[in-house]
Amino acid sequence: MMRARWPLVAFVLAIAAAPWIVPPFYVTLLNYIGLAGLVVLGLVLLTGIAGIVSFGQQAFVGIAAYTTALLTTAMGLSPWVSLFASLAVVGAFGLLLGAITLRLSGHYLAIATIAWGIALYYVFGNLPGLGQYSGIDDLPPIALFGWPLDTAPRIYYLIWTITILALAAAMNLLDSRSGRALRALRFRGVMAESFGVDTARLKVLVFLYAALLAGVSGWLHAHFLRFVSPHAFGVNAGIDYLFMAVIGGAGQVWGALIGASVLTVLREWLKDILPAAIQRTGNYEIVVFGVLMLLLLQRTRNGIAPALMRWLPKRTPRPPSPDAEPLPRRAQPEPGRMLLEVDGVRIRFGGLVAVNRMSFSVRSGEILGLIGPNGAGKTTMFNLITGVLPPESGQIRFLGERIDRLGQRRIAERGLVRTFQHVNLVSTMSVLENVAIGAHLRGTSGTLAAMAHLERGEEERLRAEAARQLRRVGLGEHLFEPAGSLALGQQRIVEIARALAADPVLLLLDEPAAGLRYGEKQALAELLRRLRDERISVLLVEHDMDFVMGLVDRLVVMDFGEKLAEGAPQAIQSDAAVLEAYLGGIE
Amino acid sequence: MTFDIALWLTQDGITNGAIYALLALALLLVFAVTRVIFVPQGEFISYAALSMGMLQLGQLPGTVWVLIGGGLLAAGLDAAKAVRDGMPGRLPRIAAMYVVVPVAVSAIAAWAAPRQLSPWLQALVVLGLVVPLGPILYRIAYQPLASASVLVLFVVSMAAHYVLTGLGLVFFGGEGLRANAFSDASFSAGVLNVGAQSIVVVVTSLVVMAALWLFFERTLYGKALRATAINRVGARLVGVRTELSGSLSFVLAAFIGALSGILIAPITTIYYDTGLMIGLKGFVGAILGGMASYPLAALGALGIGLLESFSSFWASALKESIVFTVIIPVLVWRSLTSRHHVEDEEE
């Protein structure tokens, strides 16, 4: 988030001054905007950033509102007590629904959220204990030090304090270790997982956070209006929240408030203006509203926020501090020790045996090249080692421990770190942030600390480490550029820097030279040579034989899923079987 | 519950389920080809049902104004683009498709309204009025955003749904309408008394499904649609015009929506905003079937019809809750049986 802080400050001042300036009607409207903004903020993180589409946020608003309504009327509890009870109920629901649905792929989840939204609406409307369709009224107002917040201007500051705190927390979160993982979740989940991010847990967390924000909004809503009825929590409300997120700009925190404001104000104006303008009753406002939304989306499909942000000055990015204490490094095995042993590994896809009886090993301090023509099974072998695929038979051991059933994350924890053949960077994040994802496992701070920015010390160390690795590979000049703006050759090198940031025991490079121009290949070879001189252990998968010849200590050649030859590069170069595989034999 | 009631509920459930199955197929088709979650499907249902009702009352259905207005707007957009591209040769085709056809069917409707034709002819007129709305809607709302994300397309769907519902209220009013049955005959088979209306619904659904199957398996356009659904870029590379595929899928969806509306009109009273819930039930059916397989989606929708019919007997107030909650255990089962893996969305 390379934005200046002053818009937030200016915004806070404007909100603080508003009740003294605008007419009371607009204070009420601002209350509604704040209430919706809270829910939409959760959606921005959940849908816009993490890519999990939910139409069901109004269900959480409703659950909290009904819980607090029941507890404060029937049981006479204080609204502050019922706040915690409401959030506990919402949290439990969120965890339950999250556990059920988050494992489903995108569209199922979206539809499931519609379904539970509708189901809950009818439950609210039909349970006698909940007042059926007429709802529950006479809720007590929230009292602050004995002072009841029973009018719109009085509850205004409570609503907006909470909303602004949530906004600041979301901004802090996105600019942190967890935030980087979150921003990688949508398009780069496989990559995040391979650097030790528990993507399933992260999804549940962000889902829970969005649910809790909706719950707080529901609690405020119930005690602001002092009455709850199912109509406020129908499926239309859930769709409205999503509307707000998309119109405002689902990819940005500010989009939540922009969307909430635009929709709330537009609705209200249309309700006032249209009947007067058209002189006919009827639901014209909904028609005009729909048409305006269509036009808006066709003009700016990413929402209003990105268009507005262009007008704000960019903050000069904060350079990583040079005197941050370096992160602890793991103890490297002594040179010559056995690192990786692949032992009789086999995998089939349907009828095709992709890898068969493959055995080889890598020792500490050496560079092993795994080469073979296209389709030889190199990338499959790579996926077997990194835990993307489990082998059908055979064993893979790392430092003597079996890893062939561990899964990507556990393997990454042990220091086996990879790059991707198809560049797997988050293109909108800066080069520095991308590399910092590599150091994910070297930090420990969680989401709560990140929201309060209590982890700045560790964050500085992570950023300094990322900058150090980028300087090591010669990209020190590009720290703050978006990763997507670099040339392919440079992006490949960013991939290597990211892997180095994980402090690897063994570096696995998947065809790093594929698709590079001659000059880029030269630069890459130069970098790998430097790494070799630093005695880093590397397993290099490649099909370009010329590229690996001067680099590696030993070569393993694969063809049709089996090992064809193994030995020193010079010996391999004159091996008849290898020549035949690469050049084709004489029939 | 007696056996008679159970049979009667089953018959009712199958009748509704057949309609949900048709809708489920249309939703799947549109989603696969265009990635649009087609919420406005519900409006095609209510427009068709209400047009049918108005024709039977001897009134000109308000659909004609939506059709002519939408047609002119779509024609304007396309004509402007043709002029910008320097291709005035396209203009006659645009005028024929978006202006001549809507005006012609509107004229037929105006002629037919006071004449109290047979319900079968009225159904044809209604199809003529509603089906062209499909491609018109696609042209106006979706085509400019065809490459946007599923989320943006969904919000477009909601906006279109709001516009069409609002127009529905303007042109049909807030009163509900119920059309006459195609036939009042009924047949007894043992204890079961089968209404002709149910037979019409089930047979029509089966015929449409068979026709869809033939269309996708045996015709070039059907194969082009399937190709677009599987791989949009690949389809374009081999010469499939993907905008045409989008438009075509909307024609089919509008046809199925209109047909469902005509079939359901004599069964329940339809209001201008009833369509959404009916469409959503088709959707739940499609999910029960796994959102991928057409036969399973049809079976799932049939299950929804039965569930709805039986739960309205046992717990009428919670009927809708039950129908929409049934999705949760199915999803649980699916999430337990599908192997978890991390997957990336396409940027």
Residue ranges making up the domain that contains B117 = 3-337
Closest CA relative to residue B331, chosen from A112, A556, A427: A112
> Binning pLDDT at 50, 70 and 90, where does residue B338 land?
low
Token pair recorded at residue A99: 């556990």
**Do B37 and A110 count as a contact with CB atoms less than 8 A apart?**
yes
Establish if B173 belongs to a structural domain. Answer: yes
**pLDDT > 80? residue B191:** no
Same structural domain, A534 and A476: no
Predicted pLDDT of residue B225: 81
Residue type, A81: V
Mutation pick from A54, A286, A300, A420 vs chain B, by most beta carbons of B within 10 Å, is A286
Q: A105 pLDDT band (50/70/90 cuts)? A: low
A289 touches chain B (CB under 8 A): yes
Residue A462 pLDDT grade (very low, low, confident, very high; cuts 50, 70, 90): confident
In chain A, what residues touch B280 (CB-CB under 8 Å)? 114, 118
Query: Is A265 a domain residue?
Result: no
Least confident of A235-239, A276-280, A291-295, B8-12: A276-280
Question: E strands of B242-303, at which residues?
Answer: none
* Distance (Å) from the alpha carbon of A383 to chain B's nearest alpha carbon: 14
Q: Are B141 and B164 in contact (CB under 8 A)?
A: no
Q: What is the mean pLDDT of chain A?
A: 82
What's residue A276's pLDDT?
A: 65
CA distance A125 to chain B (A): 9
Which range, of A149-153, B100-104, B133-137, B200-204, averages the lowest pLDDT? A149-153
pLDDT class of A215 with cuts at 50, 70, 90: very high
> Which residues are bridge partners to B189 per DSSP?
B192
Give A240 to chain B, closest Cα distance, Å: 9
- Confidence category of residue A39, pLDDT binned at 50, 70, 90: very high
Provide DSSP, A388-400.
SS--SEEEEEETT
Whether the predicted model's global pTM rises above the 0.90 cut: no
Q: CB under 8 Å to A272, separation ≥6 — which residues? A: none
Share of chain B above pLDDT 70, in %: 89
Provide, as residue numbers in chain A, all residues whose Cβ is less than 8 Å from the Cβ of B164.
Answer: 290
Same domain, yes or no: A468 and A401:
no
Inter-residue contact A174 to A49 (CB < 8 Å)? yes
Chain A from 53 to 92: CB within 8 A of any B CB? 53
Phi-psi region of A585 (alpha: psi -120 to 50; beta: other; left: phi over 0): beta
Q: Concatenated DSSP letters for A192-251? A: HHHTT--HHHHHHHHHHHHHHHHHHHHHHHHHHHTEE-GGGGSHHHHHHHHHHHHHH-TT
Residue A88 confidence (pLDDT): 93
Compute the average pLDDT of residues A383-411: 87
Domain end (from A207, A234, A261): A234
Lowest mean pLDDT among A54-63, A139-148, A194-203, B160-169: A139-148
Contact between B324 and A119 using a beta-carbon 8 Å cutoff: yes
Helix or strand or coil: residue B114?
A: helix
Q: Is residue B263 part of a domain?
A: yes
Mean pLDDT of B127-144: 90
- Element (DSSP H or E) covering residue A334: none
CB contact under 8 A, A188 and B141: no
Check: CB of residue A423 under 8 Å from CB of residue A492: yes
Q: Residue A92 pLDDT more than 90?
A: yes
Contact A45, A207 (CB under 8 A): no
User: Does residue B185 sit at the A interface (CB-CB below 8 Å)?
Assistant: no
Q: pLDDT tens digits for B214-253? A: 888 888 888 888 787 777 778 888 887 777 888 888 998 9
User: Is residue B213 included in any domain, yes or no?
Assistant: yes
Would you list the DSSP string of A39-71? HHHHHIIIIIIT----S-HHHHHHHHHHHHHHH
Q: Long-range contacts: A122-129, Cβ < 8 Å, 24+?
A: A122/B317, A122/B318, A122/B319, A122/B320, A122/B321, A122/B324, A123/B318, A123/B321, A124/A62, A124/A66, A124/A230, A124/A233, A125/A230, A126/B317, A126/B318, A126/B321, A129/A70
Same domain, A385 and A466: no
Residue B344 has pLDDT above 70, yes or no: no
Sequence-ordered list of residues with C-beta below 8 angstroms from that of B203, at least 6 positions apart, any chain: none
| Same domain membership, residue A490 and residue A514 | no
Gyration radius (Cα) of chain B, Å: 21
Phi/psi of residue A279, nearest 5 degrees? 60, 30
Domain shared by A557 and A481, yes or no? no
Q: Which of A149-153, A177-181, A296-300, A552-556 has the lowest mean pLDDT?
A: A149-153
Q: Is the pLDDT of residue A353 over 80?
A: yes
Residues A347 and A481 in one domain: no
Predicted confidence band at A587 (pLDDT cuts at 50, 70, 90)? very low
Residue A404 has pLDDT above 70, yes or no: yes
How far off is chain B from A99, nearest CA to CA, in Å?
Answer: 9
Contact between chains at B325 and A119 (C-beta distance less than 8 A): yes
**Which B residues, 93 through 132, put their C-beta within 8 Å of a C-beta on chain A?**
none
pLDDT higher than threshold 70 for residue A233: yes
Same domain, A548 and A436: no
Which of the listed ranges A230-239, A496-505, B185-194 does the model predict with the highest average pLDDT? A496-505
Closest chain B CA to residue A117: B324
Does the pLDDT of residue A145 top 80, yes or no? Answer: no
Task: Answer yes or no: is B343 within a domain.
Answer: no
Hey, is A329 helix, strand or coil? coil
Residue A1 pLDDT > 70, yes or no? no
Chain A residues in contact with B145 by the CB 8 A cut-off are 297-298, 301
Closest CB to B344: pick one of A116, A189, A297. Answer: A189
Q: Do A284 and B170 touch (CB under 8 A)?
A: yes
- Whether residue A437 is found in the same domain as residue A449: yes
With an 8 Å Cβ cutoff, is A579 touching chain B? no
User: Does the structure show a pLDDT above 60 at A281?
Assistant: no
Taking residues A494-510, report their average pLDDT.
88
- Whether residue B22 lies inside any domain: the answer is yes
What range defines the domain where residue A53 resides? 6-234
Quick one: how many helices (H) and strands (E) in chain A? 22, 14
| Strand A367-371 with A554-559, pairing | parallel
In this complex, the residue of B280, B318, B331 whose CB is nearest that of residue A101 is B331
Whether residues A487 and A514 fall in one domain:
no
Examine residue B50 and state whether it is found in any structural domain, yes or no: yes
Choose one of A451, A466, A501: the last residue of a domain: A501
Query: Chain B window 290-309: which residues touch A at a Cβ cutoff of 8 Å?
Result: 291
Instruction: Please report the number of interchain residue pairs, chain A to chain B, with beta-carbon separation below 8 angstroms.
Output: 152
Number of domains in chain B: 1
* Residue B150 to residue A53, Cβ atoms within 8 A: yes
Decide if A243 touches B, using CB distance below 8 A: yes
Domain membership of residue A484 (yes or no) is: yes
CATH number at residue B28: 1.10.3470
Provide ipTM, 2 decimals: 0.81
Q: For residue A194, which residues of chain B lie inside 8 Å, CB to CB?
A: none
Task: Kindly determine whether residue B325 and residue A110, on different chains, have CB atoms separated by under 8 Å.
Answer: no
Give the SS3 label for residue A343: strand
- Residues 6 or more apart in contact with residue A61 via CB below 8 angstroms: A39, A214, A215, A217, A218, A221, A232, A233, A237
Listed in sequence order, the residues at least 6 apart from A450 whose beta carbon sits closer than 8 Å to its beta carbon are A172, A173, A176, A177, A178, A179
| A133 and A204 co-located in one domain | yes
Residues in chain A closer than 8 A to B346 (CB atoms)? 187
Inter-chain residue contact B155 with A47, CB threshold 8 Å:
no
B162/B273 Cα distance (integer angstroms): 10
Cβ contact A287–B166 (<8 Å): yes
Inform me whether the C-beta atom of residue A316 falls under 8 Å from chain B C-beta atoms.
Answer: no
Local confidence band at A89 (pLDDT 50, 70, 90 cut-offs):
very high
CB B327 to CB A298 under 8 A? Answer: no
Task: Report the CATH number that the domain containing residue A337 is assigned in CATH.
Answer: 3.40.50.300
Predicted confidence at residue B16, as pLDDT, reads 84
Angle between helices B150-172 and A284-299 (to 10 degrees): 150
Of the residues A218, A234, A250, which one is the last residue of a structural domain?
Answer: A234
Cβ of residue A398 closer than 8 Å to a chain B Cβ: no
Same domain, A101 and A179: yes
In the sheet with A554-559, reading across from the earlier edge strand, the strands are A416-418, A506-510, A537-542, A367-371, A554-559, A562-567
A475 against A509, higher pLDDT? A509
- Cβ distance B344 to A103 less than 8 Å, yes or no, reads no
Q: Which of A2-16, A71-85, A544-558, B126-140 has the highest mean pLDDT?
A: B126-140
Contact A111 B156 (CB under 8 A): no
Residues A559 and A473 occupy one common structural domain: no
Domain count, chain A: 3
Name every residue whose Cβ is closer than 8 Å to that of residue B163 and which is 6 or more positions away in sequence: A286, A287, A290, A291, A294
Is A112 in the B-facing interface, judged by CB distances under 8 Å?
A: yes
Q: Is A196 on the interface with B (CB under 8 A)?
A: no
Q: How confident is the model at residue B114 (pLDDT cuts 50, 70, 90)?
A: confident
What distance in Å separates residue A572's CA from the closest CA in chain B?
38
Chain B environment of A484 (Cβ under 8 Å): none
Of A326 and A539, the structure prediction assigns the larger pLDDT to A539
- Smallest CA–CA distance from B164 into chain A, residue: A287
